[in-house]
Amino acid sequence: MDFKSTLKKGCFCLQLKSDTKEGVIHEMIDLLDAAGKLPDKNAALNAVLEREKKMSTGMQCGVAIPHGKTDTIDDLLVAFAMKKEGIEFGSLDGQPSTIFVMTISSSNRTGPHIQYLAEISKVLNVPSVRERLLVAQTVDEVVTILTGGTSISVSA
Residues 95-104 pLDDT 10s: 999 999 999 9
**Residue 53's pLDDT band (cuts 50, 70, 90):** very high
What average pLDDT score do residues 50-71 get? 93
Please measure the distance between the N-terminal and C-terminal CA atoms of the chain and give it in whole angstroms: 19
pTM attached to this predicted model? 0.91
Separation in Å, CA 104 to CA 46, 129, 132? 11, 23, 26
Domains and CATH numbers, the chain: 3-146 (3.40.930.10)
Active-site annotation, residues: 67
Residues 122-141 pLDDT 10s: 999 999 999 999 999 999 99
How far is residue 6's CA from residue 4's CA, in Å, rounded to a whole number? Answer: 6
pLDDT at 148: 81
> For the chain, what percent of residues have pLDDT higher than 90?
72
